[in-house]
Amino acid sequence: MDVVVVGRHTKVSDEFRGKVIDKLRRIETVDPRATRIDVHVVHERNPKIAGERERVELTVHGHRPIVRAEASSDDRFVALEMAIDHVIERLRKRHERFSHRHQGRTGLGKTAVPAPSDVASVEAWEGAPDTATREIPLDGTPITIRSKVHAAQPMTVPEAIDHMELVGHDFYLFHDSESGLPSVVYRRRGWTYGVIHLEEASASEADEGLRETA
């Protein structure tokens, strides 16, 4: 397994590089398919976040989708340990979901009726090329909306859930291969998930749908 360590706004010592290679053996044990791990070490210069000035970002390659995790601390060695723990936890959850699915259980892949209060925020979308990003001003305000285009292949709801968990997001936008509709899966409380499908409707039908969910 290849390990690539890169520092941003900081130098990475030989001692830390050695520690990274030694600690990442934990991930290789859990996921033997991993072929490369990118390690980004970031030093934040903002004094207001001194307690989180050292951030370690891990990206594990070797299967689709890739697995990402990051952690921050005032000590980069601590941040490394925390980021590795996050990656291992996501890999273990993925293994548990596959095990349950093969046993015919329905808990993790089962969809639920969407509830607005269950939908959580998520970090800015990643994966689109720079040319696919636009800043759109909101009329009459100083606010701009960041718009991105993301290319993706159709997938099933359980596959979308796997992608969401592996990248560490709270929801995942995808094309449903079974319904053909643009859809989003999201994490609810506990080990349950929800899915929302979007289909085209007339203005009157859309208004009726809003009244039914109000």
On whether the pTM is more than 0.85, the answer is no
Residues 6+ apart with CB under 8 A from 112: 188, 192, 193, 194, 195
64 strand-pairing partners: none
> For each of the chain's 214 residues, which pLDDT tens digit applies?
889 999 988 899 999 999 999 999 888 888 888 888 999 999 988 877 778 889 999 989 886 678 888 999 999 999 999 999 988 888 887 777 665 554 544 443 444 444 433 333 333 434 444 545 556 666 666 666 777 777 788 999 888 888 887 777 788 899 999 988 999 998 877 667 889 998 887 666 655 655 555 4
DSSP for residue 177: T
> Mind listing the domains of the chain with CATH numbers?
2-102 (3.30.160.100), 116-213 (3.30.505.50)
Closest listed residue to residue 35, CA positions, set 2, 65, 69: 2
**AA identity, residue 152:** A
Separate counts of helices (H) and strands (E) for the chain: 5, 9
Contact by Cβ (8 Å): 21, 53: no
